């Protein structure tokens, strides 16, 4: 399902979603949120019928353009719809029946300010399916990068990341970025054994990957363990990746992923599409 608002970023999202849906034989669902309120009226008087007619005409034009773009990208099974509802509640409701929500990195109209304000936070934090934010440039042949921190949500994201890597027939880079600040590591003393801490972190990553490596033997896995802020390592890895996959919430280095600085950094600055995965 793709949020369509007529912006160039939304059309990029349509192209990306079509490329994902075609080989998997999935329906591509294009949705435009025709928000009737959106600051146009003060609520004292209902808008005239001409307003609804114009809103519907403009929305149909946006959806027709998006459908053409999807067709050019190879999609043959495409549906369009334009409910008269605000964007965030609409997307959250429709996410219950979607395999993935795909959004552009910026928008206008029904999705105005989506990434800068509450809509992006609400959709990423509460959607019933993974949410992809299409931005940057997916590196052809690049790996899928997954953030791993040992939390239950991270485990779900790792499952999705393995599946995405298998579909794309590319390697998976499993990144466990830990920091001595906020990761339960005691304050260092002159004889503190950082090497032992790193061995423990590598063991944790190996344990998290073991079952998935058995399930997806065709996926080549690169294991990365670094003492760094997760957002810094993931942003750096996004430059050569075609997709970064992270859980919507985490612990340790990924604490407050969707609502905090890590998610904001990825959504605004990653050099490739970002896929946020919720539990369940």
Give the tokens for residue 39. 């600051």
Taking CA atoms, 128 is separated from 37, 46, 95, 100, 154, in Å, by: 26, 33, 5, 9, 16
pTM of the model: 0.87
User: Which is higher by pLDDT, 114 or 158?
Assistant: 158
pLDDT at residue 25 above 90?
A: yes
Q: What is the pLDDT of residues 121-163, one digit of tens each?
A: 678 778 999 999 998 989 999 999 999 988 888 899 999 999 9
Q: Give me 71's structure tokens.
A: 């067709």
Which has the higher per-residue pLDDT, 221 or 49?
Answer: 221
State the pLDDT at residue 63: 96
Res 73: pLDDT = 94
DSSP letter assigned to residue 82: -
Q: Look at residue 53 in the predicted model and tell me its pLDDT.
A: 84
Q: What is the pLDDT of residues 39-56, one digit of tens each?
A: 455 556 677 888 788 888
**Distance between first and last Cα of the chain:** 18
Whether residue 188 has pLDDT greater than 70:
no
pLDDT in tens, 79-102: 999 998 888 899 999 999 999 999
Give the number of C-alpha atoms closer than 13 A to the C-alpha of residue 257, restricted to the C-beta side: 29
Residue that wins the pLDDT comparison between 114 and 32: 32
* Residue 253 pLDDT level (bands cut at 50, 70, 90): very low
Residues near 4 by beta carbon (within 8 Å), at least 6 away in sequence: 10, 14, 30, 31, 32, 62, 63, 66
Is the pLDDT at 184 greater than 70? The verdict is: no
Whole-Å CA distances, 226 to 178, 234, 246, 255, 262: 6, 11, 17, 17, 16
Q: Which residue has the higher pLDDT, 255 or 12?
A: 12
């Amino acid at each position: 399902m793709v949020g369509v608002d007529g912006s160039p970023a939304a059309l990029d999202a349509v192209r990306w979603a079509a490329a994902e849906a075609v080989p998997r034989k999935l329906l591509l669902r294009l949705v435009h949120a025709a928000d009737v309120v959106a600051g146009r009226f003060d609520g004292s008087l209902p808008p005239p019928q001409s307003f609804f007619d114009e809103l519907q005409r403009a929305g149909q034009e946006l959806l027709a353009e998006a459908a053409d773009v999807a067709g050019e990208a190879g999609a043959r099974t495409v549906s369009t719809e334009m409910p008269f509802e605000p964007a965030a509640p609409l997307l959250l409701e429709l996410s219950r029946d979607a395999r993935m929500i795909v959004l552009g990195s910026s928008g206008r109209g029904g999705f105005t300010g989506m990434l800068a304000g509450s809509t992006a936070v609400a959709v990423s934090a509460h959607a019933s399916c993974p949410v992809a934010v299409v931005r940057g440039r997916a590196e052809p042949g690049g790996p899928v990068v997954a953030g791993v921190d040992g939390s239950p949500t991270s485990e779900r994201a790792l499952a999705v990341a393995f599946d995405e890597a298998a579909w794309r027939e590319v390697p998976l880079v499993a990144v466990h970025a830990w920091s001595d600040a906020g990761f339960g590591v005691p304050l260092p003393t002159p004889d503190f054994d950082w090497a032992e801490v790193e061995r423990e972190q590598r063991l944790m990553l190996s344990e998290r990957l073991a079952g998935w490596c058995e399930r997806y033997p065709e996926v080549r896995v690169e294991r990365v363990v670094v003492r760094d802020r997760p957002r810094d390592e993931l942003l750096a890895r996004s430059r050569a990746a075609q997709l970064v996959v992270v859980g919507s919430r985490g612990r340790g280095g990924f604490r407050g992923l969707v609502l905090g600085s890590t998610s904001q950094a990825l959504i605004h600055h990653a050099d490739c599409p970002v896929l946020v995965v919720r539990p369940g």
